[in-house]
Amino acid sequence: MRVSTALIFNNGAQGIQRNQFELFRLQNQLSTGRRILAPEDDPIGASEALQVEQAKGVNDQFLANQSTATSDLQYLDAQLGSVSGELESLIERAIQAGNPTLGPDQRNMIASEMKQRLEHVLSLANSRDGTGLYIFSGTQTQTQPFQVVGAGGNYNLTNLYVAYQGDNGQRALQATPSQSMATSENGQDVFMQVRDAQGNVTGRSIFDSIKNLIDINDPNSGVPYSAATYSQSLADLHASLDTISQVRAKVGGRLQALESLTAVGQDQDLLHQGRLSELRDLDYAKAISDLSQRQLLLQAAQQSFKQVSQLSLFNIL
């Protein structure tokens, strides 16, 4: 085989370039900490890494949904807890108002405090979340759910003191591929359909119950006080508190379910991260060894090319 000078130069240059390219690739791997910089570095590993990344992305979205659902339910529970606190205070005042020795002025003072607490309950029922959406209006989140419409009389579900403007729906988020989690409660179920401890509908809303109790203690309301009316109003308040407790129990159950789902999702995320690390992360010890070897090969190629390129028949003539 005839070896020309051009062939020597071409082969020498290609060898140097090949070693320079490998050295450059190793330097990039060390700077990024990644073994796979392009699909051609490991086609099978790159394909599997892409699949794992996609699965991780889906899992991350479900974790984000679970976090949002948890925040929504925690805020919902906090508002319900505030309503529950107001009802407990109203029951205390109602029991105090049951004292037959109280005079008109004392009953008027109790009625005034109850009015303030009713306004607070109404404000809580019209609560908005951090994005400005009403939390008790069902799916009609831009509509204020409750509005005072009463004009007097004994209030009940056919003669409302406060009317509900929302719907009976619930907002929900997809917590897992197969499970949707409700993140709200509609005001119809929470405030309008008051049920006692046995589950029986009382026939009055929470607002009706409070307003009726206020009226029988307010000397200016024109509603006469009677033991029967007082007993009914107090029983309605207890039923209202039972209803809020039942709703809070459902919300608490969802929070527990989300806690379990989040724990599973976080474990899955760790598995995804571990597998991606196995596929893509660089073995620094091996990479540094390969870098030293490649540097030595490059230097050897450069030195040998230099020496061979200087060989010429004219040098010995």
17 Cβ partners below 8 Å, 6+ apart?
none
Check pLDDT > 80 for residue 103.
no
pLDDT at 62 over 90: yes
- Low-confidence winner among 31-40, 68-77, 208-217, 283-292 (lowest mean pLDDT): 283-292
More confident residue, 201 or 285: 201
Whether the pTM exceeds 0.75: the reply is yes
| Band of pLDDT at residue 167, cut at 50, 70 and 90 | very high
- Given a cut of 70, is residue 33 above it in pLDDT? no
Q: Round to whole Å and give the CA distance between 234 and 242.
A: 13
pLDDT of residue 136: 95
Using the predicted structure, report yes or no on whether residue 295 has a pLDDT greater than 70: no
Highest-confidence range of 89-103, 127-141, 225-239, 271-285, by mean pLDDT?
A: 127-141
CA separation for the pair 82, 88 (Å, rounded): 10
- CB of 87 within 8 A of CB of 125? no
- Rounded to the nearest integer, the mean pLDDT of the chain is 83
| 172 contacts 181 by C-beta, under 8 angstroms | yes
When mean pLDDT is compared across 165-179, 261-275, 277-291, the lowest value belongs to 277-291
Evaluate if residue 307 carries a pLDDT over 80. Answer: no
Residue 7 one-letter amino acid: L
Q: For residue 240, what are the contacts with CB-CB under 8 A and spacing of at least 6?
A: 87, 194, 206, 209, 210
User: pLDDT band at 47, cuts 50/70/90?
Assistant: confident
Q: How far apart are CA 32 and CA 35, in angstroms?
A: 9
Domain at 77-273, CATH from 3.40.50.450, 1.20.1330.10, 3.40.225.10, 3.20.20.140: 1.20.1330.10
Q: Tokens representing 256?
A: 């527990």
3-state SS of the chain is CCCCHHHHHHHHHHHHHHHHHHHHHHHHHHHHCECCCCHHHCHHHHHHHHHHHHHHHHHHHHHHHHHHHHHHHHHHHHHHHHHHHHHHHHHHHHHHHCCCCCCHHHHHHHHHHHHHHHHHHHHHHCCECCCCCECCCCCCCCCCCEEECCCCCCCECCECCEEECCCCCCCEEEEECCEEEECCCCHHHHHHCCECCCCCECCCCHHHHHHHHHHHHCCCCCCCCCHHHHHHHHHHHHHHHHHHHHHHHHHHHHHHHHHHHHHHHHHHHHHHHHHHHHHHECCHHHHHHHHHHHHHHHHHHHHHHHHHHCCCHHHCC
Residue 247 has pLDDT above 80, yes or no: yes
Torsion of CA 135, 137, 142, 144, to 10 degrees: -100
Q: Is 152 left (phi over 0), alpha (psi -120 to 50) or beta?
A: left
Between 177-186, 222-231, 275-284, the lowest mean confidence (pLDDT) is in 275-284
101 or 241: which leads in pLDDT: 241
Q: Is pLDDT larger for residue 222 or for residue 311?
A: 222
**Which of 74-78, 190-194, 216-220 has the highest average model confidence (pLDDT)?**
74-78
Looking up tokens 């509509």, which residue turns up? 143
What average pLDDT does range 84-112 have in this prediction? 86
The confidence band for 219, taking pLDDT boundaries of 50, 70 and 90, is: confident
Write down the pLDDT at residue 187. 94
**Is 3 a residue whose pLDDT tops 70?**
no
Q: What is the pLDDT of residues 145-165, one digit of tens each?
A: 999 998 887 899 999 999 999
Best-predicted range by mean pLDDT (1-15, 36-50, 88-102, 198-212) = 198-212
